[in-house]
Copies of this chain bind each other. A is one copy, B any other.
Amino acid sequence: MKIDAIDLKILTVLQQDGRVSNQDLAEQVFLSPSACLRRVRALEESGMIARYIALLDATAFGLEVDSFVQVTMRRDVEHWHENFTAALQSWPEVVGSYIITGEANYLLRVRARNLKHYSSFVLEKLYKTPGVLDIRSNIVLQTLKDTQMLAPELLMGEAGVNG
């Protein structure tokens, strides 16, 4: 599927305001509502727009701790990867988990209400998972940028941009 400059503009707007009305969106990209809606539907059906979500403010709920945790596994435990992966999905504190290159095997993003909650997560859940050898916690002291935004400059140069 080919996307042009107007599609890029639509994607930019929707990434900033997922609930913008089709009429407003159409105005911003200088299109009629029907033409605009057709493009949005095409972007959704092609999978380029994956989904729409509400973002909550973690601090408003008293979630004080945000962290990145590097996890190293030992390989002498059976089904260590399957067990660990399944556990990750079930733990609400884990909002992201990735297999990465480098010294650790996994990188987790973990949120907790406070340090006590965080501590109990690490000791009672993470460390008790068979195969977990080493855990390195990197607590977030300050968030400078935290966005899901894929800027037009990033999207361009691929997927056949015309305009």
Contacts and interface: CB of A to CB of B under 8 A. Distances in A.
Interface of A: 11, 14-19, 46-58, 60-63, 66-68, 85, 88-89, 92-102, 104, 106-107, 111-113, 136-151, 153-155, 157-159
Contact of A61 (B94, B98, B111, B159): B159
Contacts of A136: 102
Contacts of A104: 138
B62 A159 contact: yes
A147 B96 contact: yes
A62 B3 CA distance: 13
Given A141-B101, A157-B113, A61 B19 contact: no
How many copies altogether?
2
A143 B89 CA distance: 12
A112 B44 CA distance: 22
Nearest to A154: B92
Top-5 shortest CB links A-B: A62-B158, A92-B151, A14-B54, A18-B52, A100-B138
A54 B60 contact: no
Nearest to A67: B100
Contacts of A85: 144
B48 A144 contact: no
Contacts of A18: 18-19, 51-54
B54 A88 contact: no
Contacts of A151: 92
A98 B57 contact: no
Contacts of A140: 98-100
